[in-house]
Amino acid sequence: MKICLLNDSFPPLIDGVATTVLNYANVLSEYWKDEVIVATPRYPRADYSKYPFEVLPYQSINTRKVTAGYRMGNAYSPEALLRLREFRPDIIHSHCPFSSLLLARHIHLLTGAPVVFTYHTKFDVDIKRAARFRTITDAIVKGMCTFIDSASDEVWTVSKGAGESLTELGYKGDWRIMYNGVDFPKGKADEEAVRKATSAFDLPDDVPLFLFVGRLFVYKGLNIILDALKILKDKGFDFRMIFIGEGGDVEYLKKRNVELNLQDKVRFIGRVSDRELLRAWYTRANLFLFPSTYDTNGIVVREAAAAGLASVLIRNSCAAEGVTEGRNGYLIDENAESLAETLLKIGNDITGLNAAGDKAMDELYLSWLDAVTIARENYKRILNIEDPD
């Protein structure tokens, strides 16, 4: 097949959706030998020539101060439209409702190829951060839902909760769940990799290590983590906490960490781009803290599970789908007191945490090969392609 993937983020910008598009493109082109083109807004100094598939960077403007680090692509770019019309995709798959879906609609009008849209993130949160006024944001969100319905031949979501969230925002159509995978193999990193990743840090073997990986924005529940850790410290509970990632609230979070007098326990180490080093951090940690109700799937929870690391999640959140309390993870209410209570109860039970991590590995893990293969079968269904006998 000839497949066009579109997203408003792509490496060097790293987030869950960029990782998704990268893995879709890798699996489709390398394993299935499909012809893939990824269209994405151009980021300065990015090297788009190093991939085993074509990347089409198109004209963009710097909107990073109001769009949480993203650039806005020009969906009317003549160069992009000309190349994509020439490519003549069999199917178009947009992973973002902004410039990517608008460009997908233009390509559909030029080529007739059907459009799949995947709802990954709660775009209403980002719109509210940028627009600020309720009447404006409500109108924009309503308009986005109408556009998604009219521009897409089929809508996918990355979890049941994500689909329900999209419906609550005002989307009237049907949706199909298509889970994301992870690019880690199932199993822990070796001891040498763990030592290389962590030896420069004060991480006593007999003290539990908590971990967060992701974009550093308060709306991911990061104040809940810091406030809970303050409770633990005040109660004399020893621990270490590592935050991995970058984001618009990182300076605020560092300042708050000092205000709470947690700097001897908590470290912010920035982005870890090396996937094997990141896998080593998941292996070394004893518990993954992810109290986010913003994320619709939480790829990082599945990454942690791949390395045998159980997570603490908000009860009934999208990221908690598939998690059973005390078996393959832990569920809390959306507040610092609930998180602190759970950490005080289970934080020193390393044997129990390891057992929950093993269950998470067995029950939550999904490889990108399996996830994208399922998606590809659905491309074929949409296109009425039948396998030969």
pLDDT tens-digit readout, 172-193: 999 999 999 999 999 999 999 9
- Spatial neighbors of 138 by CB under 8 A, at least 6 apart, are none
Asked if residue 12 has pLDDT above 90, the reply is no
If pLDDT is split at 50, 70 and 90, which confidence band does 68 have? low
Q: Is 54 within 8 Å of 46 (Cβ atoms)?
A: no
Residue 227 — φ and ψ, nearest 5°? -65, -35
Coil, helix or strand at residue 92: strand
Residue identified by tokens 């991995």 is: 244
pLDDT of residue 230: 98
pLDDT in tens, 222-234: 999 999 999 999 9
Count of alpha carbons within 13 angstroms of residue 234, beta-carbon side: 11
The residue behind tokens 């599945």 is: 302
| Domain 2-181+368-383 bears CATH identifier 3.30.460.80 | no
The DSSP code for 182 is B
Question: Which has the higher per-residue pLDDT, 67 or 267?
Answer: 267
Question: How high is the mean pLDDT of the chain?
Answer: 93
pLDDT of residue 108: 98
Within the chain, all domains assigned CATH 3.40.50.2000 are found at: 2-181+368-383, 191-364
**pLDDT tens-digit map of 232-265:** 999 999 999 999 999 889 999 999 999 999 999 9
Task: Express each pLDDT in 351-367 by its tens digit.
Answer: 999 999 999 999 999 99
Over residues 268-279, the mean pLDDT reads 94
What's the token pair of residue 193?
């990799």
**How do residues 25-41 score in pLDDT, each as one tens digit?**
999 999 999 999 999 99
Question: Which range in 126-130, 142-146, 232-236 is most confidently predicted, on average pLDDT?
Answer: 232-236
Assess contact for 124 and 169: CB atoms under 8 A.
yes
Residue 196, SS3?
Answer: helix
Superfamily of domain 191-364: Glycogen Phosphorylase B; (3.40.50.2000)
6 CB-side CA count, 13 A: 30
pLDDT at 241: 98
Q: How far apart are CA 62 and CA 48, in angstroms?
A: 18
Mean pLDDT along residues 264-284: 96
